[in-house]
Amino acid sequence: MVNIRPGDPLPERQYVCDSIQLFLYNAALWNAHRIHFDYPYTTEIEGYPGLVVAGPLMGDWLTQCVLDWLDEEGTLVSFEYSNRKAAFTGDELRSGGKVISSDPETGEVKLDLHIKNEADEVITPGKATVRFPVA
């Protein structure tokens, strides 16, 4: 906690969602939306360049970014995100973020989070509040 300062980066991680992962994710949800598994439908009828990565899957990746950084030393208090731009299977995506503020009295740390695509655009921005134990 004492060493956490605004601007500190969170570790980045690359994700490349393939059709197998996308299938397993939507199967775990029971989500039958065809844009996630039916390639001819998705490209020819809906006009997307490929199978669409599920929005909440990218939200999950942002929570992984936070929890991997916390490394069991603090807890996730709140989390928000929005899906601004679509991603497709095979896209090289990166999760990351940085510390926005840190309050040593309450142990509360605010984080900015993102998923970026290959063009370095933030496609899924997010925010989280975490809490560290206060001595």
Partner 1 sequence: MGTLLTPELLSNIGKSAPPKKELVTRREIRKYSIATGQRQEKFLTGDEAPPMFHIALFWGIAEMDQLSPDGVFIDSFLPEFPLKRAMAGGWKIDYHRPVYPGDVLIAKRTLTAIYEKKGSQGPLIFYEITTEVESESGETILTEKTTRILR
Among 27, 73, 98, 118, binds partner 1 (CB under 8 A): 27
Q: What is the 3-state secondary structure (H, E, C) of 31-54?
A: CCCHHHCCHHHHHHHCCCCCCECC
Closest among 135, 133, 126 to 10, alpha carbons compared: 126
48 forms part of the interface with partner 1 (CB under 8 A): no
Candidates 1-9, 38-46, 99-107, 109-117 — which segment interacts with partner 1 by CB under 8 A? 38-46
Residue 21 or 117: the one with the smaller Cβ distance to partner 1 is 21
21 forms part of the interface with partner 1 (CB under 8 A): yes
Look up residue 76 and give its two tokens: 């996730």
Task: For residues 77 and 73, give the distance between their C-alpha atoms in angstroms, rounded to a whole number.
Answer: 13
110 forms part of the interface with partner 1 (CB under 8 A): no
In single-letter form, the type of residue at position 74 comes to: G
Instruction: Kindly state the smallest distance separating residue 89's Cβ from partner 1, in Å.
Output: 13
Among 4, 10, 53, 57, binds partner 1 (CB under 8 A): 57
Contacts of residue 11, defined as CB under 8 A and 6 or more positions apart, other chains included, come to 65, 68, 69, 96
Residues of the shown chain interacting with partner 1 in the complex, contacts defined by CB under 8 A = 15, 21, 24-25, 27-35, 38, 41, 46, 55-57, 59-61, 63-64, 67-68, 75-85
